[in-house]
Amino acid sequence: MVTDPAELARLAHEKEAENLEFRRFVKEHHAGPELLHVIGAEVEAAVDCTACAACCRHLRVEIGQDDLDRIAAFLKLRPAEVRRMYTEADPAGGPLLLAQPSGECVFLHQRVCLIYDVRPAACRHFPYLTPHENSLGARAESISRHAWFCPIVFNALEEFKRRAGFHPHSGR
């Protein structure tokens, strides 16, 4: 299993064309999300996210009112204070985002989430490989965009290719 960040980035870059071919394979063969859900659960169980926390450095997290309320209760603050202290507007005009003052989530400290028990829904569901709302498993062909930094996604994608019977450059 590949977990080294530099190796993940290198291999994911190397496999960009193959992953594009695989996305086409998934669409053409109507590969359902069930196999990806099984593989995702297996790989998630084998990877310690606290040894990585790359998602907290590379992704922007949308935060809704329910998330604000949970975090506020946990921090014993008012939701308006959490909004002011820990969020920022999306520069593209989208939803409210968790702040990233130093290029990583404001709640990340030495690869540990300080609000883990009440983290936003987007964080709870990442890497979106197992069945739940907004699962990437429902869009199996699009998972490769997170493979360059997430060991779970990279390894699940590689195993999905293998179990789905995908053979790159086979002239399909």
pLDDT in tens, 42-99: 999 999 888 889 999 999 999 999 999 999 999 999 999 999 999 999 888 888 999 9
Q: How many CB atoms lie within 10 A of CB 17?
A: 10
Q: How many domains does the chain have?
A: 2
> Who contacts 92 (Cβ-Cβ below 8 Å, separation ≥6)?
none
Per the domain annotation, does 73 fall within a domain?
A: yes
Tokens of 2: 């590949």
Per the domain annotation, does 172 fall within a domain?
A: no
Closest CA to 33 of 119, 115, 137, 129: 137
Average pLDDT (15-21) is 90
Whether residues 134 and 50 fall in one domain: yes
Q: Which of 94-98, 141-145, 163-167 has the weakest average pLDDT?
A: 141-145
Percent of the chain with pLDDT over 90: 56
pLDDT of 125 reads: 86
CA atoms within 13 A on the CB side of 82: 24
Whether residues 19 and 101 fall in one domain: no
Q: How many Å apart are CA 122 and CA 125, to the nearest integer?
A: 5
Per the domain annotation, does 46 fall within a domain?
A: yes
Q: How many Å apart are CA 53 and CA 111, to the nearest integer?
A: 5
Whether residues 17 and 99 fall in one domain: no
pTM across the whole model = 0.84
Per the domain annotation, does 171 fall within a domain?
A: no
- Of the pLDDT bands very low, low, confident and very high (cuts 50, 70, 90), residue 142 is low
> Who contacts 67 (Cβ-Cβ below 8 Å, separation ≥6)?
120, 121
Please give the residue range of the domain that contains residue 29: 5-55+128-164
